[in-house]
């Protein structure tokens, strides 16, 4: 969560009795106190020797050195850091997403590094970062984060269940255990904590990066609006680090953990979605915005043929088709072509009665009807379809919230 995490930078009194953040002409700072929550590698954590390590630590130390000040690191609960900043317990917030909502409360320095967020779920889950795909699903976020603000504003009103966690390891354990279906995460921290581990091999980034007003696009340092001098000092030090190449050198140490978002998922080639049980085919394959759906039988969740004959089986077929389309960011009104298979053509009238109850009269797909000798599991009817999906190339566009 480090990209969205709040890390607090504070400065105490100078040994000579001057207040840190004094106006131009005052004595320079002798120390800068950074308050952090060292639980979020690779941004800040403690190694086996108890030493602080991570991208934010490296950047903070470099800024201190540039300002000829001594860094002092202090643990801080991030959810109250803006309140603590305003109460002058600290002087600045390090590594915070500079969202419009936060800019209403505090100022920010120039950007430290970009912010990228992805939905993470089990591979082949069919989930995508859209309200259609996530409706009724459980998405985990960190309490007080910009991702929580985004999910609550944009997804929760549409029926997505948002679960908040205090710690990222708690969230990840819930994801692995199946207590939540997906999580919003930055590429670096979720790679280190899950995707690059043995237990994370069945998980991956799904869909393009998630963007939105509540999310922000970059990480910066937050300062009080009443302390423009500190903001100016930090910006000056940051620019000097950029000019010397030190800023880029620090970022390069973490490049392997923060890959180019454009390479996270190949959306041009076929996307295969195997079934939950081991079958010799995918339930669907997406090519571009076209979804090819394998043959659907009238079976229940245990893959047992439903009772009641052809009519009951057809109702189950159409319900399964509806749910599968929803799961893959499509819908019945996006179906372009279906192939209907019947063991007995005399059942076509009954099947059509069920079929027409699911499609709007003005949006009937093209259709072929085949008479077959047998179907798997002794089924009487089956269907396979081709449909269009929601646009999925590039970033997901989200309507800005408040």
Please spell the DSSP secondary structure of 94-145, one letter per residue. Answer: EEEE--HHHHTTSEE-S-SEE--EEEEEETTS---SSHHHHTT-EEEEETTS
Residue 10 burial (CB count, 10 A): 22
Q: How far apart are CA 352 and CA 205, in angstroms?
A: 40
In the prediction, which pLDDT does 276 show? 61
Q: ∠27-31-32 over CA atoms, to 5°? A: 115
Structure tokens at 353: 């009665």
Q: Rounded to whole angstroms, what are the CA distances from 242 to 235, 249, 255, 304, 390?
A: 10, 9, 17, 64, 41
Q: How far apart are CA 9 and CA 94, in angstroms?
A: 5
Eight-state DSSP code of residue 377: G
In the prediction, which pLDDT does 16 show? 33
Hey, which residues does 382 pair with through a beta bridge? 297, 341
In the prediction, which pLDDT does 79 show? 81
The residue whose two tokens read 């979804």 is 291
Please confirm whether the linkage preceding 42 is cis (ω < 30° from 0).
yes
In the chain, list all ranges with CATH 3.30.1330.40: 271-388
Residue 236, burial from CB neighbour count under 10 angstroms (0-12, 13-18, 19+): middle
Q: ∠80-81-84 over CA atoms, to 5°? A: 90
- Burial code (b: 16+ CB inside 10 Å, e: under 16) for 256-295 equals ebbeebeebbeeeeebebeeeeeeeebbbbbeebebebbb
Q: How far apart are CA 126 and CA 273, in angstroms?
A: 7
Q: Which listed CATH number (3.20.20.80, 3.20.20.70, 3.40.190.10, 3.40.50.970) goes with 117-214?
A: 3.40.190.10
Give pLDDT tens digits along the chain (402 positions).
444 443 333 333 333 333 334 444 556 778 888 778 888 888 888 999 999 999 989 999 999 999 998 888 888 778 888 898 898 888 888 888 898 889 999 999 999 998 889 999 998 787 888 887 898 999 999 998 899 999 999 999 999 999 999 888 899 999 999 999 999 998 888 988 899 999 999 999 988 888 887 888 888 888 889 989 888 999 999 999 999 999 999 999 886 544 444 334 444 568 777 776 667 888 888 888 899 999 999 999 888 999 999 999 999 999 999 988 887 878 999 999 999 999 999 999 999 999 999 999 899 999 999 999 999 999 999 999 999 986 543 333 332 222
In the prediction, which pLDDT does 14 show? 30
Any idea which fold 271-388 has?
A: 60s Ribosomal Protein L30; Chain: A; (3.30.1330)
- Nearest residue to 52 (alpha-carbon basis) of 69, 82, 30, 72: 72
Residue 89, burial from CB neighbour count under 10 angstroms (0-12, 13-18, 19+): middle
In the chain, list all ranges with CATH 3.40.190.10: 7-114+219-261, 117-214
Any idea which fold 7-114+219-261 has?
A: D-Maltodextrin-Binding Protein; domain 2 (3.40.190)
Phi, psi angle pair for 146, to nearest 5°: -65, -30
């Amino acid at each position: 969560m480090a990209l969205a995490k709040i890390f607090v930078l504070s400065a105490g009194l100078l040994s000579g009795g001057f207040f840190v953040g004094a106006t131009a002409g005052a004595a320079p700072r002798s120390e800068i106190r950074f308050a952090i929550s060292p639980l979020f590698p690779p941004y800040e954590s403690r190694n086996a020797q108890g030493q602080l390590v991570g991208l934010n630590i490296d950047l903070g130390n470099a800024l201190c050195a540039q300002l000829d000040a001594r860094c002092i690191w202090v643990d801080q609960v991030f959810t109250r850091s803006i309140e603590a900043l305003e109460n002058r317990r600290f002087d600045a917030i390090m590594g915070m997403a500079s969202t419009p909502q936060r800019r209403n409360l505090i100022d920010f320095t120039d950007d430290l590094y970009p912010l990228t967020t992805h939905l993470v779920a089990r591979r082949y889950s069919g989930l995508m970062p859209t309200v259609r795909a996530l409706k009724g699903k459980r998405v985990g976020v960190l309490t007080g984060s910009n991702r929580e603000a985004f999910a609550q504003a944009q997804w929760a009103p549409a029926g997505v269940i948002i679960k908040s966690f205090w710690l990222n390891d708690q969230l990840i354990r819930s994801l692995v255990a199946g207590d939540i279906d997906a999580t919003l995460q930055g590429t670096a921290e979720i790679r280190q904590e899950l995707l690059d581990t043995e237990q994370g091999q069945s998980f991956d980034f799904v869909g393009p990066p998630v963007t939105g007003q509540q999310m922000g696009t970059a990480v910066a340092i937050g300062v009080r609006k009443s302390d423009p001098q500190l903001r100016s000092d930090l910006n000056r030090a940051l620019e000097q680090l950029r000019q010397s190449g030190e800023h880029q050198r620090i970022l390069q140490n973490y490049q392997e953990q923060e890959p180019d978002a454009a390479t996270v998922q190949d959306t041009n080639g076929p996307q295969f979605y195997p079934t939950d049980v081991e079958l010799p085919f995918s339930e669907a394959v997406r090519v571009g915005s076209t979804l090819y759906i394998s043959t659907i039988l009238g079976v229940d969740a245990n893959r047992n043929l439903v009772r009641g004959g052809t009519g009951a089986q057809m109702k189950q077929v159409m319900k399964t088709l509806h749910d599968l389309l929803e799961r893959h960011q499509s819908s019945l009104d996006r179906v372009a072509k279906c192939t209907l298979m019947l063991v007995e053509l005399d059942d076509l009238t009954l099947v059509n009665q069920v079929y027409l109850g699911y499609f709007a009269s003005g949006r009937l797909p093209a259709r072929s009807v085949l008479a077959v000798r047998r179907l798997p599991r002794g089924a009487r009817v089956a269907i396979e379809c081709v449909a269009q999906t929601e646009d999925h190339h590039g970033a997901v566009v989200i309507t800005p919230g408040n």
